[in-house]
Amino acid sequence: MQTKPTSPYTSLVAVGDSFTEGMSDLLPDGTYRGWADLLAARMSAQVPGFRYANLAVRGKLIGQIVEEQVDVAAGMGADVITLVGGLNDTLRPKCDMVRVKDLLTEAVERLTPGCRQLVLMRSPGRQGPVLERFRPRMEELFDHVDTLAAKHGALVVDLYAAPSLADPRLWDVDRLHLTAEGHRRVAEAVWQTLGHPAEDPDWRTPLPPTPPPTWTARRTADLRFTRQHLLPWIARRLTGRSSGDGRAPKHPELLPYE
C-alpha cells in the first residue's frame, strides 16, 4: 500500500528496537546507520531543513517501546512516524501474545494523532531452524499489524513477503540483523510506500544464485554463530538482561538532518 503525499514530508521520527536502530549496518566509526538513517538522508535531500529523530534502542520489548519512546515521539509533531516493535517479544521462550498485541494497539492509538502518517511494518524474516519455532507468533503479530493499519489509516511496509530479504546473504553473522545491503533495501521499501518514485524497483528481487557453501563451511559458520551470538543471547534471556540496557537513543531529538 502506498500513499502520495499532498505536500512533502518535512520530518521523520523512528521508533523501535535494533532493527530501526540500524544493527548491523556498521559504519567505520563503530556506530550503526540502518534503513531509517538512509531514509532520512533521502527525504532531507528533497526538503530543506528536514528534521529527523531516531528513538530506537536495541533489545527493547514492546512494553519498553511504549513506555520509553511512544509519548516522546508523539509529542514531537513529526510528519511521519515509523513504528516497528514486538518481534523481540515473540522470540522470547515465554510470550503473552495477547499482551503484545494490546501494547502494540496502545502504541498505534497514541502515535496516530501525533503525525500526518504512521508507518508500520511486517518485519523481514530469514529462513532457519531457530526462527521456525517462533514463526507462528511472528505471523500472528504481523496479522495484527495489518488489522491496526486498516483501522487507523497507517501504511504497512511488507518486508516479510519480500523474497530478497529472506536470503541469508542479506543477514549478518548473528542471523538476527540485516547487512548494509539489507538495510538499503528496507529504506527503498519505505521510500516507495510513502509515495516516492522508485530508485530501485527491484528491491524485492532475490540476489543472483551462488554455489551453496560446503558442509565444512556451514558447520564452521554454525559453530561461530552459536559461540558468538546464540549462547550470549540465551544467557541474556535467562538472566533478564538486554543488549540495550543503559543505552540511549542515537538521535533523541527532532533536529535538522545532517
Q: Is the model's pLDDT at 21 over the cut of 70?
A: yes
Mean predicted confidence (pLDDT) in 128-150: 88
Size (the chain), residues: 258
Q: Is the model's pLDDT at 228 over the cut of 80?
A: no
Residue that is written with C-alpha cell 511488507 in the block: 158
CB 100 within 8 A of CB 62: yes
- The reply to whether 218 falls in a domain is no
- The reply to whether 252 falls in a domain is no
- The reply to whether 202 falls in a domain is yes
Task: Select the more confidently predicted residue: 46 or 30.
Answer: 46
pLDDT band at 77 (very low <50, low <70, confident <90, very high): very high
Mean predicted confidence (pLDDT) in 201-213: 81
Q: How many domains are contained in the chain?
A: 1
Instruction: Specify the amino acid at residue 243.
Output: S
Q: Is the model's pLDDT at 91 over the cut of 90?
A: no
So what's the pLDDT on residue 255?
97
| Minimum mean pLDDT range among 71-80, 156-165, 234-243 | 234-243
- The reply to whether 88 falls in a domain is yes
- The reply to whether 3 falls in a domain is no
- The reply to whether 236 falls in a domain is no
- The reply to whether 251 falls in a domain is no
So what's the pLDDT on residue 172?
84
The enclosing domain of 57 has a CATH number of 3.40.50.1110
The Cβ of residue 29 has, within 10 Å, a number of other Cβ atoms equal to: 5
- Closest residue by Cα to residue 133 from 84, 92, 177, 163: 92
Mean predicted confidence (pLDDT) in 234-247: 62
- The reply to whether 231 falls in a domain is no
| Minimum mean pLDDT range among 8-22, 46-60, 144-158, 163-177 | 163-177
For the chain, what is the mean pLDDT? 88
CB 87 within 8 A of CB 100: no
Residue ranges making up the domain that contains 185: 11-213
Mean predicted confidence (pLDDT) in 112-117: 96
Q: How far apart are CA 46 and CA 94, in angstroms?
A: 45
CB 49 within 8 A of CB 239: no
